[in-house]
Amino acid sequence: MTGLDRNSVRRTALLAGAALITGLLPLASAGTAAADDPAPVPVDRFEGEVPFANQPAEGIFTWGGDSDDPPKLALTERSDAPEGAKVLTGDYDISGYGGFTHDFAADQPAHDWSAHKGIRFWWDGRNTAKKIAFEIKDGGTNGEASELWTTSFTDDFSGWKQVEIPFADFVYRTDYQPVGGIDHVLGLTQMWGYALTLPVGAPGQFALDDVELYGRADQSLRASVTTDSAVYPVKEGGTARVKISVATTGSAPIDEPVTVAYESTGGGAAPGRDYAPVKGEITFPAGTTSGTSRTVTVRTLRDKSAEAAETIPLKLTVTGAKAPAETPQVVIDAHGLPYLNPKLSVKKRVADLVSRMSLEEKTGQMTQAERGAIGTGGDIASYDLGSLLSGGGSTPTPNTAAAWASMIDGYQLRAQATRFQIPLIYGVDAVHGHNNLAGATVMPHNIGIGATRDPALAERTGAVTASEVRATGIPWDFAPCLCVTRDERWGRSYESFGEDPALVKSMETVVQGLQGARDGSDLKDDDRVLATAKHFVGDGGTGYGTSTTGSYTVDQGVTKVTRQELEAVHLSPFKTAVDRGVGSVMPSYSSLDIVGDGQGPVKMHARADMINGVLKGRMGFDGFVISDWNAIDQLPGDYASHVRTSVNAGVDMMMVPYSYKDFRATLTDEVKAGRVTERRIDDAVSRILTQKFELGLFEKPYADTSGASRIGSAAHRSVARQAAAESQVLLKNAGGVLPLRKSQKVYVAGSNADDLGNQTGGWTLTWQGSSGPITKGTTILQGMRNAGGDVTYSKDASAPTGGYDVGVVVVGETPYAEGVGDVGNGNDLELTAADKAAVDKVCAAMKCAVLVVSGRPQLIGDRLGDIDALVASWLPGTEGDGVADVLYGRRAFTGQLPVTWPKSESQLPINVGDASYDPQFPYGWGLTTLTKTPGGGTAALRELARVASAAERRGADGTARAAVTKARLLVQQKIGSSVTAANAGPFADADHLLLTGHYGEAVAKLAQAYRMA
């Protein structure tokens, strides 16, 4: 969900000259140059002068979303070449994103393009009607560390045609910047190359020739007139002050005079009645310093009537510079209307507001767009948008808390230009902390939280996340995932708390951590956010090989269950969430196939029986339902069918990141045609507005950054550190290798020992995550050093292994998210060859502990006999100190397996309660340290069963749980490394019984496992 596949830019290119007939050999420019224009300056002739190469050398190179996406390029001799003998040709078949770049040499000075009007090239049109994004690179240290400025042209012609793009048409990319902005100004004096993004979805070919700079730059390319805002809200009777400035590239004084004529005209406010009209002219003389400002005041008038907001556009006519992209608007705030009265109940405020809204305003509230799609935000008011989101990796530049708050405040300001000034609700996937924000506290992923078996800690992690998210101006989190993962081949396994619905339900305390009180009374606080229960329903049960999404194998597939299985496994966590007051619910991409209902597989976004019937009806959910990213596009039929089917099924707001205009228009048309009722629209809008009122957004739409100092603070990292420590599951500990002693000489190896990106996993800064030092935190290796350990590190175990007391090998997975991580989609559950070699070498040379950093179990049984201690570390987040805490005995190992650890991939799916159950380690398994294991055998188990049963009858849960824990430790000691099908089944069943409050039965099951050991 990141990068170039998300680019959606308006067509701003000028296609100069007439289309040429295919085969014609054009030797001159298609346009007529002005007499005083400078000669064109070649950038690429494609005669072989520029190699296919990467930085730091000058060269042309390809890129793409996966190994199949980069196009195949060649320099091809063509008799119809517009210039010279050769052209650049390419073949492509892109599913995600792909294209090519020409970077100038990083060890040479950048190029100065400022003397020219624009860039042009010859394109061999195929009349595909598809847009091709064209990008130039400005400023920074080299082509891969520069600002990206973009536009596009459309291939709607046949044969060679010269495409001319004035530099004035390029806009700063808001959806993706590789390193962050330099100054957000297209300076043109330090250019590093260009790139083309090719169309996706179908195989294609292209040919390009003679890229060159053309024309003479005029002052409007170097000088621009700006206003300090696009929207100026004022209370009725107040005065707006519009600051008008002139600015130049490089801050040089202007060469020629710049005049700005201004006039208040149009809009919803009446001149003379609502405001005093203004008209005049400002002149910035030649020689004026860049940044010089003048102020125009607009005085509004007071009357006695209650009114919606009224706009006063200030028309600006600019001579000698580039005019502002938008007409600034003064807005007289809405006032005196009941929905604005905070003393009224939310229900009354909602009813009043809905009664005043037009159909178009209502459908706008049901529409959610991606921030990268809306540019500077003018469409927020134009389309009455109700919501924006940041997809994974969609961040402001720079990626700081202050920049997030400023960006979202800017969007909220835009919403003030609507009639009723309904604030936006902005959402992010903060699935393990505020994971899109650099420097935020990143928690273990949910699989690790499930391993803690600590509901109070889960709530604290949610509270930290909420605090950091809200401090950046964001009131809504697309979390938690309440999926019950049933197959570890699923690429979203780590987003689940575990395979047992009872465990998932016990961890839903995180909802209170995010939202606070169940009645929603805390939502307006500066450290709470609206939570989202996802993905309704059955996403964790999709069958292997059932996905029809690209190369996915499990994710977004089909969950085939009986009605009883659906209720017991997948629906029950959502009932708990509704009871906890969760404010929003997100349906799953996946399909649900209920055995015997006669419907077959039906996409969840179309299942009215489940959304309207079960969720809103039987469960009584009174929040709103938000779709997943473009999920309605997966429904059968045409787009109108997608819209009406999903809305009629009960989806209240649609996440349509780049198609928000089409969605709003289509939904409006469907209502007018009677295929979606106005009553249904009013219900959806009422649900959305209720949460906006509960969040206090009408009174405080802008970011409250008073909590920003707590982002990534020691106190917050302390919670993450505890969560990391408690998430560690000790699977084997022969000879008491763990905990380590500070006096021991420790040899550390493995790919994940010193890699922060790998230990934080997917959904960290970007959608898929990435390896390396991607944010602020502590790796496991650094944590061990911080703990005072005598540590030597050799990633590949190539350093000599003699003279050490113990080895620690940290292995596992690299980051992935969603179906990209599905087994069979380029992934498996095996360790890499390098990790296997490191384990083999270290464990052959000394006593060893192996830590598996991964989002799911890894197949390690063939090496288990040579490993003394084995730890499931999951994805512990940014606080590697927490892992070191248990390794060095500062804390005890207490984690338990939230999922079954299989012996082989052929066993999958394997889950607690299966009739055939023969795992490597059973669900609930987890050895401990620093705690004496109870003795006494069967007699002790009988006594513990008596204590647990008696406590259960009295409602003394704490006493009962303690008895079950003692019994579990006793049984684990007896089983040791001899886990069998006979003892694994009852052992796993005991943990499920514990979580469901059947404490006496849990001890009885453990006693059965003891007898079978």
Euclidean distance between the first and final Cα of the chain, in Å?
48
- Beta strand ranges found along 236-290 (DSSP E): 239-248, 258-264, 279-284
Whether the Cβ atoms of residue 313 and residue 332 lie closer than 8 Å to each other = no
Catalytic choice (5, 818, 879, 989): 818
CA torsion sign for 762, 763, 768, 773 is negative
One-letter amino acid identity for 998? H
Q: Give the integer Cα–Cα distance in Å for 142 and 1003.
A: 65
Residue by residue, what is the 3-state secondary structure of 455-480?
HHHHHHHHHHHHHHHHCCCCCEECCC
Helix (H) or strand (E) holding 949: helix 937-954
Whether the Cβ atoms of residue 349 and residue 338 lie closer than 8 Å to each other = yes
Q: Give the integer Cα–Cα distance in Å for 567 and 941.
A: 34
Residues 6+ apart with CB under 8 A from 965: none
Whether the Cβ atoms of residue 186 and residue 149 lie closer than 8 Å to each other = yes
* DSSP summary character for residue 615: I
In the block, which residue shows the tokens 């070699």?
837
- Residue 280 CB neighbours (<10 A): 9
* DSSP summary character for residue 235: -
Strand partners, 60: 102
Catalytic choice (135, 169, 384, 628): 628
- Residue 915 CB neighbours (<10 A): 5
Q: Give the integer Cα–Cα distance in Å for 97 and 2.
A: 10
Whether the Cβ atoms of residue 173 and residue 182 lie closer than 8 Å to each other = no
User: Left (φ > 0), alpha (ψ -120 to 50) or beta: where does 981 sit?
Assistant: alpha
Whether the Cβ atoms of residue 194 and residue 102 lie closer than 8 Å to each other = yes
Whether the Cβ atoms of residue 969 and residue 1009 lie closer than 8 Å to each other = no
Whether the Cβ atoms of residue 288 and residue 245 lie closer than 8 Å to each other = no
Strand order in the sheet with 532-536: 532-536, 584-587, 624-625
Q: Is residue 36 packed enough to be buried (19+ CB in 10 Å), middle (13-18) or exposed (0-12)?
A: exposed
Whether the Cβ atoms of residue 540 and residue 486 lie closer than 8 Å to each other = yes
Q: Can you state the percent helix, strand and coil of the chain, rounding each to 5?
A: 30, 25, 45
Can you spell out the DSSP letters for 734-755?
GGG--S--TTSEEEEESTTTT-
Q: Give the integer Cα–Cα distance in Å for 111 and 138.
A: 10
Q: Give the integer Cα–Cα distance in Å for 428 and 360.
A: 25
Helix (H, G, I), strand (E, B) or coil at 377: coil
- Residue 405 CB neighbours (<10 A): 20
Q: Is residue 660 packed enough to be buried (19+ CB in 10 Å), middle (13-18) or exposed (0-12)?
A: buried
Cα–Cα distances in angstroms (integers) from residue 509 to residues 42, 456, 464, 868, 875, in the given order: 63, 7, 13, 36, 20
Q: Give the integer Cα–Cα distance in Å for 676 and 636.
A: 18
Helix (H, G, I), strand (E, B) or coil at 716: helix
* DSSP summary character for residue 706: G
Q: Give the integer Cα–Cα distance in Å for 57 and 129.
A: 35
Identify whether 818 is a catalytic site residue.
Answer: yes
* DSSP summary character for residue 631: G
Cite the active site residues. 628, 818
